[in-house]
């Protein structure tokens, strides 16, 4: 995935966005700061998730994935510098909660934002849902009914 972006960057002069590559557990994240976009690649399933984020959501996501997987990031550390003046700095940080709720809706289905009251948030990786097994009725069970 990184090679594809580097090739695009070198062949298309209009593509001037630099990107950051972060590894988070089994995921590779390519974050394009100038357009607040993140691609999340799952090396196990080869799924790619596309996240179009606001500047605040982008900053929060990067802060979360720069910590070890499952690590709690304090509330104060998640407030983007531009938002610190605008949001209440008194717990429970209603401005931060708004950003987190919006970010929560945009995350891949294999990630979950978990709030630890009085401490902060952590990004939790969850096992992908297994497809339910289809049961095929046997001829004898059809005749019984």
Per-residue pLDDT tens digits for 82-136? 555 555 555 556 678 889 999 999 999 999 999 988 889 999 988 765 555 555 5
- Torsion angle of the four alpha carbons 82, 60, 64, 102, in this order, in degrees rounded to the nearest 10: 150
The answer to whether residue 142 is domain-embedded is: no
The alpha-helical segments, DSSP class H, found in 2-138 are 2-11, 55-65, 75-78, 94-106
Mean pLDDT of 40-49: 91
CATH code where residue 7 lies: 1.10.10.10
The answer to whether residue 143 is domain-embedded is: no
What is the value of pTM for the model shown?
0.72
What's the chain's average pLDDT?
Answer: 78
Q: Which domain holds residue 86?
A: 2-128
The answer to whether residue 116 is domain-embedded is: yes
> What pLDDT does residue 23 have?
92
DSSP class of residue 114 equals: E
Give yes or no for residue 35 having a pLDDT over 50. yes
The answer to whether residue 59 is domain-embedded is: yes
> What pLDDT does residue 129 have?
57
Mean pLDDT of 40-62: 92
> What pLDDT does residue 118 have?
83
d(CA 21, CA 135): 43
Give yes or no for residue 8 having a pLDDT over 50. no
Burial pattern 34-43, b for ≥16 Cβ within 10 A else e, equals: eebbbbbbbe
The answer to whether residue 105 is domain-embedded is: yes
- What's the total number of domains in the chain? 1
Give yes or no for residue 47 having a pLDDT over 70. yes
Of 83, 69, 56, which is closest to residue 123 (Cα–Cα)? 69
Give yes or no for residue 73 having a pLDDT over 60. yes
Query: Cβ distance 37 to 52 under 8 Å?
Result: yes
Tokens of 76: 């104060």
Query: Cβ distance 93 to 87 under 8 Å?
Result: yes
The answer to whether residue 145 is domain-embedded is: no
């Amino acid at each position: 995935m990184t090679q594809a972006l580097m090739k695009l960057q070198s062949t298309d002069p209009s593509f001037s966005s630099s990107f950051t590559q972060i590894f988070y557990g089994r995921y590779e994240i390519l974050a394009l700061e100038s357009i607040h976009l993140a691609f999340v690649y799952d090396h196990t399933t080869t799924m790619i998730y596309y996240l179009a984020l606001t500047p605040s959501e982008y900053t929060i996501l990067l802060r979360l994935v720069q910590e070890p997987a499952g690590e709690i990031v304090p509330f104060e550390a998640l407030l983007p510098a531009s938002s610190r003046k605008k949001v209440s700095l008194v717990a429970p940080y209603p401005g931060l909660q708004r950003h987190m709720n919006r970010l929560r809706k945009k995350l891949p289905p294999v990630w979950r934002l978990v709030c630890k009251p009085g401490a902060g948030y952590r990004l939790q990786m969850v096992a992908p849902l297994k497809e339910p097994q289809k049961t095929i009725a046997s001829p004898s069970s059809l005749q019984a009914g």
